[in-house]
Amino acid sequence: MVHLTKRLPLLPAERALKVIAGRWKPIILYHLFDGALRLSELHRRMPAISQKVLIQQLREMEEHGIVHREIFRQVPPRVEYNATPLGLSLGPVLLALCDWGRRHARELDEIDRMIDCPAALAVHPGAIAQALPA
């Protein structure tokens, strides 16, 4: 069981928002939905984030159980990050947020400024079920 250093809110919606809150966490998850990535590859895919912030966000996500870090004992050492089954289960949530964001933009007549949400957010429920331990 993961022991959180910071207490998470007791209200479920507030807890969920706390776990995925921030500019980078949803984007990091989006990239990890495709499979495990090394830190350098994640950084290449998100050049606007500093390495320090990327590492901080990954550590928080690992602490909250939505990202797994695997260290391969080799020379030089290799570290990969991937979304856990719990992290993968956020795909539909993030997709719903994208849909709501489009609706909001339409209501405020700003839809022409929106870009499409990544298709990878629509994680197939079967993929989540396969990732869960038996």
Domains annotated on the chain, with CATH: 12-131 (1.10.10.10)
Mean pLDDT of the residues in the chain: 85
Mean pLDDT of 17-43: 92
Per-residue pLDDT band at 9 (split at 50, 70, 90): confident
Q: Provide the pLDDT for residue 35.
A: 92
Q: Is the pLDDT of residue 130 over 90?
A: no
Global pTM value: 0.79
Residues 6+ apart with CB under 8 A from 5: 63
Mean pLDDT of 79-100: 92
Tokens 């507030």 sit at which residue? 14
Q: Provide the pLDDT for residue 134.
A: 46
Q: For strands 78-83 and 37-38, give the pairing.
A: antiparallel
Q: Is the pLDDT of residue 77 over 90?
A: no
